[in-house]
Structure 1
Amino acid sequence: MKDQQRESNLRKGRNLQTFNIIYDSMEVLVSLIAGFSSGSSALIGWGLDSVVEVISGSTLWWRLNGELNDISKKKVQRRERITLFVIALSFFLISTFITYDSITKLINKEIPDWSTAGLIILLVSLVVNPFLIWFKYKYGKKLDSKELIADSKDTFVCLYQTIAVLGGILAVHFLDWWWADPVAALLIVPYALKEGWEAYNNGKNVKTE
C-alpha cells in the first residue's frame, strides 16, 4: 500500500508540474511571436529555451504520474532515458540556431524593434520563476527526487537568463546599444550546451534493467 503522505506530495508535485508546463507554454508562444516580429535574437533564444523547459516539465509530470499509477520502475527508467536524449538533442539544436542568428545580426548590425509583449512576459517571469524554484525544491526534498531538485536549479538558471534578456532589450531601447540584444542571446548558449551535455550523459547512465 502506497504511503499516504508520499502520495499527497506526489500529487502536489504533479500539480506543480502541470502549472509549470502551462506557464512555460505561454512563455514559448508570447516570446517567439514577439521575438520574430521584433527581430530580437534574445527573445527568440529565450523562447526556444522555454521549449526545452516544457519538454523537461512534461517528463517530470510523466514520471510523477507514473509512480502515482504504480507503473514499474523499469518503465519509469525507460521514459527517463528516452526523454533525456530528446532534451539533449533539443539543447544542441537550439544552441546552433541561437549562435547562427546572433552572429549574423552582429555582423549585419541589425537593431531589433521594441516589443511590449516581450517586455511584459519577461517581467511576469521575474515574478513567477522564484515561486516555481521554491516549490520545486520543496517537493523535491519531500520526495527525495533528484529530478525535481535539478529542475529547480534549471528554473533558477532560467531566471538568470530572463534578467540577461531583459537587460539586453532595455539597453537597446534606452542606451542605443544595438549589439546588446544578440550578445544577451549568446549568453544563453554556454548554459544550453552544458545542460545538453549533462542530459546526454545522464541519459547514458540511466539503467533500464
Structure 2
Amino acid sequence: MVGDKKLYNVAFGLAVFTIVYNLAEGLLATYLGFEGESLALFGFGTDSFIEVISGLGIGHMVTRIQRHPGSKRDEFERTALRITGFAFYILVAGLVISSFYNIWTGHQPITTFWGVVISGVSILVMWALVLWKRRVGKQLQSDPILADANCTLVCVYMSVILLVSSGLYEWLGIPYVDSIGTLGLAYFAFNEGRECFQKANSDRYCGCD
C-alpha cells in the first residue's frame, strides 16, 4: 500500500536522523565533557556513540520489515545487537571505575554547564522522536517500531539524569553529584546492554520499558 510505504519511509528517516543526531551529540558531549572534566557528560557522549551502532541495526530492521512483513530478526541485526551489548558493558565498567576513583580522590568538574545545555536539548529531541516513532508504529501496527520508540525513551531518562546532576553541581556546587550522576547513567547502560543480548538471542522486540 502507498500509505504504508510512506510510513515506512518516515520510520527509516527517523532511524537515520537518530544516527546523525547521536553522532553529533557524541562528538560534542565527549569533547565538552573532557574539557570541563565532567565524567557524566563524557559518559553521556560515549553512550551516544553506542546508540549510533544500535541505530544502524534499527535502520536495517525497518528496511527488512518493509520488504518482508512478519519476518524474523536476521543475522545483521543480531550481530549489531551483540556489538552494542558488548559496548554498553565496556562503558558501564569504565563509568563505574572512574566514578569511584573520582569520589575517592575528591575530583570535581571544572564546569557542568554544557551538561545542562546538551541534556536539555536531548530531552526535547528524544521525546519528539519517541512520540513520532510511536505514532508511526501504531499506524503500521508494528511491534518492532513501537519497541524502538520505548528504547528511545531510555535516552530521555539518561538525559534527565545528566540534566539533574549537571544542574545541581553547576548551580549548587554539590560535591560528587557528577560522579553519582555517572553511576545513574551506568545503571541504564547496563540494562540496555542486557536488553541487547536478550534480543540478540530471541525474536522478541518488546523491552526497554
TM-score in same-fold range (> 0.5): yes
Structure 2 distance, partners of 1:36, 1:141, is: 41
Aligned pairs for 1:14-29 within 5 A: 14-29=12-27
Q: Percent identity?
A: 26
Task: Name 1:144's counterpart in structure 2.
Answer: 141
Structure 2 distance, partners of 1:164, 1:93, is: 20
1:135 to partner: Cα distance:
0.7
Q: Against the structure 1 CA distance between its residues 159 and 171, is the aligned structure 2 distance closer, same or farther, given a 3 Å change threshold?
A: same
3-state DSSP of counterpart to 1:205: coil
Question: In structure 1, what residue type is equivalent to 2:168?
Answer: A
Task: Name 2:207's counterpart in structure 1.
Answer: none
Gaps of 5+ in 2: 205-209
Task: Name 1:189's counterpart in structure 2.
Answer: 186
Q: In the alignment, which of 43, 60, 68 is matched to residue 45 of structure 1?
A: 43
Aligned pairs for 1:112-151 within 5 A: 112-151=109-148
Equivalent pair of 2:112/2:169 in contact (CA under 8 Å): no
Bigger mean CA deviation after superposition, 112-121 or 98-107: 112-121
1:67 to partner: Cα distance:
4.7
Bigger mean CA deviation after superposition, 198-207 or 185-194: 198-207
Give TM-score scaled by structure 2 length.
0.88
1:192 to partner: Cα distance:
1.5
3-state DSSP of counterpart to 1:113: coil
3-state DSSP of counterpart to 1:112: coil
Question: In structure 2, what residue type is equivalent to 1:50?
Answer: S
What are the superposed Cα offsets for residues 64-97 of structure 1, whole Å, 9 maximum, x if unpaired? 23455669x57x5112211111111111111111
1:15 to partner: Cα distance:
0.9
Equivalent pair of 2:158/2:188 in contact (CA under 8 Å): no
Task: Name 1:61's counterpart in structure 2.
Answer: 59
Work out whether 1:159 is the aligned partner of 2:162: no
Task: Name 2:76's counterpart in structure 1.
Answer: 79
Equivalent pair of 1:30/1:117 in contact (CA under 8 Å): no
Aligned residues: 204
Work out whether 1:36 is the aligned partner of 2:59: no
Q: Against the structure 1 CA distance between its residues 69 and 148, is the aligned structure 2 distance closer, same or farther, given a 3 Å change threshold?
A: closer
Work out whether 1:5 is the aligned partner of 2:3: yes
Q: Which has the higher contact order (CA 8 A, sep 6+)?
A: 1
3-state DSSP of counterpart to 2:16: helix
Question: In structure 2, what residue type is equivalent to 1:85?
Answer: R
Task: Name 1:203's counterpart in structure 2.
Answer: 200
Give TM-score scaled by structure 1 length.
0.88
Structure 1 distance, partners of 2:82, 2:201, is: 8
Task: Name 2:107's counterpart in structure 1.
Answer: 110
Q: Against the structure 1 CA distance between its residues 33 and 171, is the aligned structure 2 distance closer, same or farther, given a 3 Å change threshold?
A: same
What are the superposed Cα offsets for residues 22-76 of structure 1, whole Å, 9 maximum, x if unpaired? 11111101110011111111111211221222122221112223455669x57x5
